[in-house]
Amino acid sequence: MDDAPLILTLRFDDTTFVRLDALRRAHFPPARNHIPAHLTLFHALPGEEEAGVAAALAEVCAATPALPIRFSGLLPLGRGVALSVEAPALRALRTGLAARWSAWLTRQDAGGFRPHVTVQNKVAPEVARELLEQMRAAFEPWDARGEGLLLWRYRGGPWEAAGSFDFRGELRP
């Protein structure tokens, strides 16, 4: 049994992922950038429950169509910058999973959900302010798609892939 915590993230369409990961590589301190661009839904699910988590994800994703998401603005993090995400269907999906896993949730995961993608973190506040102003000057909202969920194991550094679950549900009018 592996008790390393599990992290759950959204899988973006390929074009969006390439764009986000390029931003992260350009602005995240290289010595600390161990993981690709991501949008975290849960930060620490119990590793010993991996089989149950994976079964729930397979079931939910089979009934879920691709999710529309909108990168709507910039979010100052104090020591970094993130892109804010508007995604009502993603919020609903996460709410359902949180209810299902309520007994397992950490304080962080049981608290509010603010979907975002961090492009810079762990820098001096003045460096973060400079990037925020630079990005604000050129930012235009854009639409993207969530195509599935990715499950990871956290082992203190780079994340280890633990599963990929495609959204397969039918779009309904």
Mind listing the pLDDT tens digit for each residue in 61-82?
Answer: 999 999 999 999 999 999 999 9
Residue 168: alpha-carbon gap to chain centroid = 19
Q: How many beta carbons lie within 10 A of that of residue 167, not counting itself?
A: 20
CB 8 within 8 A of CB 149: yes
Residue 2 is predicted with a pLDDT of: 85
| pLDDT recorded at residue 112 | 87
Dist. CA 143–CA 21, nearest whole Å: 16
Residue 20 token pair:
């986000």
Distance between CA 102 and CA 139 in Å, rounded? 37
* pLDDT value for 171: 54
Report the mean per-residue pLDDT for the chain: 95
Query: CA–CA separation, 60 vs 167, rounded Å?
Result: 8
Q: Which long-range contacts (CB under 8 A, 24 or more apart) does 158-165 make?
A: 158/34, 158/35, 159/7, 159/34, 159/35, 160/4, 162/6, 162/50, 162/54, 163/54, 163/57, 164/11, 165/54, 165/57, 165/58, 165/60, 165/61
- pLDDT on residue 173: 43
**Percent of the chain residues topping a pLDDT of 90:** 88
Could you list the mean pLDDT of each consecutive 10-residue stretch along the chain, which spans 173 residues? 93 98 95 92 97 96 96 97 98 97 96 95 96 97 97 92 90 49
6-166: CATH topology is Cyclic Phosphodiesterase; Chain: A, (3.90.1140)
